[in-house]
Amino acid sequence: MDVQFHGAAREVTGSCFLVRAGARRLLIDCGLIQGAPADEARNRQPFPFNPGNIDAVILTHAHLDHSGRLPLLIKAGFRGPVYTHRATRDLCQIMLKDAALLNEKDAEHENRRRLRQGKRLVEPLYTRADADKAMRQFQVLDYDTERELLPGVRLRLRDAGHILGSAILELWLEENGNRRKIVFSGDLGHADAPILRDPETVREADLVVLESTYGDREHRPWDETIAELGEVFREAARDEGNILIPAFAIGRSQELLYFLKQHGREWGIDQWTVFLDSPMAIEATAVYGKHWKLFDAEASGRRKKDGDPFSMPNLHFSRTAAQSMAINRVRGGAIVIAGSGMCDGGRIRHHFKHNLWREQCHVIFAGFQARGTLGRSIVDGAQTIKLWGETIRVAARIHTVGGLSAHAGQSGLLNWYRHFERHPAVALVHGEPEPMEMLARRLHSLHANVLIPKAGERIDLLAPPPKARK
């Protein structure tokens, strides 16, 4: 009985954990590796296990760094069910289809270049047909309902408060009369965030697999974050330019729309034209509306009082490429929320080409920027960037509003762990090395036995508790 770490081990993306109990094989998440081209090239490598031997996949949530390699897993021979929350299933229907479309476009673009050079053509990482096939293997669950997935394997999902449908996994295993419980945090939400409930707490575990994205820092208090956003909008109004917001289509885009409506009067939002320039974000917003019963008390109350929490008279949905391109004729007064969140693809890059060199422009980064991404380069102070072979000067005002993160900060992670009884062992995942080490030191002060597994490392759940790595 063990758990082996095949992704998000000393890095943020590519979550993938193999759990074995007797003859049973479970995969927790199967995410894309994101970042620099060399990192993303690893997605084409064979899995370090036989997908045909996996009995089931359990998916914590829809973000591609957790779900994005599922079509590849199925192409490689996985035939079992993919268990997840019903809202996650609905979001994955959007996410995987969009990722497949981008794969097809990338391969088409690369093959035009290769044809001119007389080189061998490449295949897409996976296609829309592959994504459709993967969706047929999904089986939906609800929160707080315990279910036997296989003999000796029971599961309960708890609300993680990260994005709609995100789940903490309580996994009970039995092998030859030995019983163990693993809790996978998934991605834990930021307490008191808008729309969704706070992460649920768990009291018992033999091993906790804990994310550590922001293990070395705290987020600004929500009231300060709201004030910071308001000041950015007022500054941008004085400069008479546009505001560009690279945003993740699921979670961040809906939070931004919610805030714009909630604070519209004090921020002067009625003076702006707001564009949600992402077909995927538009579809995801509809899914959020469908699953409104998962909202927290405040958002539910606002929905009953004011109607759709994501709608405004001056909000425009840019579904087509033509509608997106038309935005670039607007020289001032536009708030453009566009994907991708880390700026490595999507429509935000076109808006950068037309605006980033303009001193009147403001850019708000409202989410984590992984190493190797274009967004991280800009946040770190790049004076120029390259887009389609053209050098673009970065003259716009850059704002990093970290308080909007959908991930718990250091104190949120520690407070969540404090609810466990008897100080279970912790394996830190989904973080860069420095945040992991910082969080490990803080967890040691709570008498936790902390490990930071390397890729491929295995923890034996029946062995004596492993010693913490200093």
Q: How confident is the model over 80-108, as pLDDT tens digits?
A: 999 999 999 999 999 999 999 989 999 99
CA dihedral 340, 62, 127, 26 (to 10 degrees): 140
Report yes or no on 194 lying in a domain.
yes
Among 171, 234, 251, 162, which Cα is nearest to 198's? 162
User: DSSP assignment, residue 180?
Assistant: E
Q: What is the pLDDT of residues 123-171, one digit of tens each?
A: 999 999 999 999 999 999 999 999 999 999 999 999 999 999 999 999 9
Q: Are residues 427 and 364 in the same domain?
A: no
Q: Which three-class secondary structure state does DSSP give residue 47?
A: coil
Among 469, 346, 462, 456, which Cα is nearest to 17's? 456
Q: How far apart are CA 197 and CA 195, in angstroms?
A: 7
Last residue of a domain, one of 383, 404, 425: 404
**246 contacts 368 by C-beta, under 8 angstroms:** no
Report yes or no on 467 lying in a domain.
no
Report yes or no on 95 lying in a domain.
yes
CATH no. for residue 174? 3.60.15.10
Q: Are residues 341 and 429 in the same domain?
A: no
Q: Regarding beta strands 273-277 and 315-317, do their DSSP bridges make them parallel or antiparallel, or are they unpaired?
A: parallel
Q: Are residues 156 and 26 in the same domain?
A: yes
> Residue 372 — pLDDT band, cuts 50, 70, 90?
confident
pLDDT of res. 179: 97
Alpha helices by DSSP H, 34-85? 37-40, 64-67, 70-75
Q: Are residues 253 and 179 in the same domain?
A: no
Q: Where do we find the tokens 């037309």?
A: 354
Q: Are residues 12 and 146 in the same domain?
A: yes
CATH no. for residue 264? 3.40.50.10890
Kindly report the average pLDDT of the chain as a whole number: 95
User: Domain residues for 42?
Assistant: 2-217+406-460
Lowest mean pLDDT, pick from 95-99, 189-193, 340-344: 340-344
What are the phi and psi torsion angles at 76 (to 5°)? -85, 0
Q: Are residues 24 and 157 in the same domain?
A: yes
pLDDT of 470 strictly over 50:
no
Q: How far apart are CA 415 and CA 317, in angstroms?
A: 39
Q: Which three-class secondary structure state does DSSP give residue 133?
A: helix
Structure tokens at 77: 């021979």
pLDDT of 2 strictly over 50:
yes
Percentage of the chain exceeding pLDDT 90? 91
Structure tokens at 28: 């927790």
Measured CA to CA in angstroms, residue 217 lies from 160, 270, 367, 408 at distances of 20, 35, 14, 10
Last residue of a domain, one of 384, 404, 424: 404
**336 contacts 246 by C-beta, under 8 angstroms:** no
Residue 309's CB: how many other CB atoms inside 10 A?
Answer: 23
Report yes or no on 29 lying in a domain.
yes
Among 278, 230, 231, which Cα is nearest to 251's? 278
CA atoms within 13 A on the CB side of 162: 25
pTM: 0.92
Mean pLDDT along residues 17-27: 97
Q: How far apart are CA 335 and CA 270, in angstroms?
A: 11
Q: Regarding beta strands 138-141 and 384-387, do their DSSP bridges make them parallel or antiparallel, or are they unpaired?
A: unpaired
pLDDT of res. 466: 60
Q: Which amino acid is present at 270?
A: D
Q: How far apart are CA 420 and CA 422, in angstroms?
A: 7
pLDDT of 1 strictly over 90:
yes
Tell me how many domains the chain contains: 2
Q: Are residues 279 and 212 in the same domain?
A: no
- Whether the link from the prior residue into 318 is cis, omega within 30° of 0, is no
Report yes or no on 468 lying in a domain.
no
- Higher-pLDDT residue of 219 and 127 is 127
Q: Are residues 397 and 410 in the same domain?
A: no
Q: Are residues 337 and 422 in the same domain?
A: no
Mean pLDDT along residues 319-327: 96
Report yes or no on 331 lying in a domain.
yes
pLDDT of res. 403: 85
Last residue of a domain, one of 379, 404, 429: 404
Q: Are residues 315 and 424 in the same domain?
A: no
Q: Are residues 336 and 386 in the same domain?
A: yes
Beta strand extents in 134-199 (DSSP E only): 138-141, 147-150, 153-159, 167-175, 178-184
Alpha helices by DSSP H, 240-355? 252-262, 264-267, 279-290, 297-306, 321-327, 348-355
Q: How far apart are CA 382 and CA 374, in angstroms?
A: 9
Q: Are residues 271 and 364 in the same domain?
A: yes
Q: Which three-class secondary structure state does DSSP give residue 167?
A: strand
Among 462, 26, 442, 464, which Cα is nearest to 210's? 442
Report yes or no on 466 lying in a domain.
no
Q: What is the pLDDT of residues 288-299, one digit of tens each?
A: 999 999 999 999
Write the burial class of residue 34 (CB in 10 Å: 0-12 exposed, 13-18 middle, 19+ buried): buried
pLDDT of 26 strictly over 70:
yes
